[in-house]
Amino acid sequence: RVTAEAIWELKSQMLKKSGLLSLHRDGAGFANLGGLDAMKSFCLRAMRCQGHRDPLKRPRGVLLLGVPGTGKSQFAKALGHETGRPTLILDIGSLMGSLVGQTEQNIRQALRIADAMSPCILFLDEVEKALSGVNGAGDSGVSARLFGTFLTWLNDHESNVFVIATCNDISKLPPEFSRAERFDGVFFLDLPGPQQRLAIWNLYLEMFGLDREQKRPDDRDWTGAEIRSCCRLAALLDLPLTAAAQNVVPVAVTAAESVGRLRNWASGRCLNADAPGIYVHDQAPVAKPVRQVRRGNPSSN
């Protein structure tokens, strides 16, 4: 008897043989992802719309820009579970070939596989790093030709493939990549607010079997990844959350300047992932690293 499990395994093996795409399979959905309510609602509504049968009305995808650790990659994988679609992971590095023309052939073959697998989700992680050579310097224009092929497919493909691309610095991408009609929206994932952090705490406290009533550390400017790290260390080392938090240094401290620039750039340019509408930075100060001042010995002066 032909079952869904058998078909899934067959497709997974075929993708592994090609070496161009990998198939993500995980039972984790939006229930394991706190916050990002506006982005969840937008994508679910677009992908469940009855107009998918008309190629002109099919959703194209979203570009996710955000602070590291805010759940961009986890969202892309959870969306496939929520919509019942397979999530294909495209690693640009795996497309690079040593022979002349091999890279261009690989990207065309990978996109043909994605079209054949539709309806599906095509996930590109850290896209600004994967396409860092699009200016043609150092690789005889191979990356530029690969990028051009992918741009043409983004604009012209009629298959029901929902593309999710994530990046931490959109300024490193050419402007034509994020223009209208290549993506349905560009979302900015900021540091989670108090309500989002509370939902993330409850999620990971339950996941790691920790006491919800215990005192929590000061989580201002923490990301979801840092909250998870604190809970995991508390369970691993058998420590209270406040003690485990001493081993966690938030990215808002280690990269305060970069986070501030990213927020300022996204303000007024991107959609808000947590609330409907355009993201507007409230100019709230990001935690700055504490500088230790070494005092000299008065007797030596």
CA 284 to chain centroid, in Å, comes to 24
* 3-class SS of residue 124: strand
Task: Give pTM, 2 decimals.
Answer: 0.82
Summarize the confidence of residues 78-100 as an average pLDDT: 82
> Which residues have C-beta within 8 Å of that of residue 145, sequence separation ≥ 6?
103, 104
The pLDDT tens digits for 48-82 are 775 556 777 788 899 999 888 888 888 988 898 88
CA gap 206, 228 in Å, rounded: 11
Q: Based on the number of CB atoms within 10 Å of its own CB, is 240 exposed (0-12), middle (13-18) or buried (19 or more)?
A: middle
Q: Which residue has the tokens 């039972």?
A: 27
Q: At what angle do helices 102-117 and 4-18 cross, to 10 degrees?
A: 170
Q: Which of these, 228, 230, 239, 235, lies nearest to 209 by C-alpha position? A: 235
DSSP character string of 70-123 = SSHHHHHHHHHHHHT--EEEE-HHHH--SSTTHHHHHHHHHHHHHHHH-SEEEE
C-beta separation of 71 from 33 below 8 A: yes
Summarize the confidence of residues 182-193 as an average pLDDT: 90
Lowest mean pLDDT segment, chosen from 108-117, 235-244, 256-265, 284-293: 284-293
Q: What pLDDT is stored for residue 93 in this prediction?
A: 77
Q: What pLDDT is stored for residue 182 in this prediction?
A: 86
CA gap 189, 35 in Å, rounded: 10
Q: What pLDDT is stored for residue 51 in this prediction?
A: 53
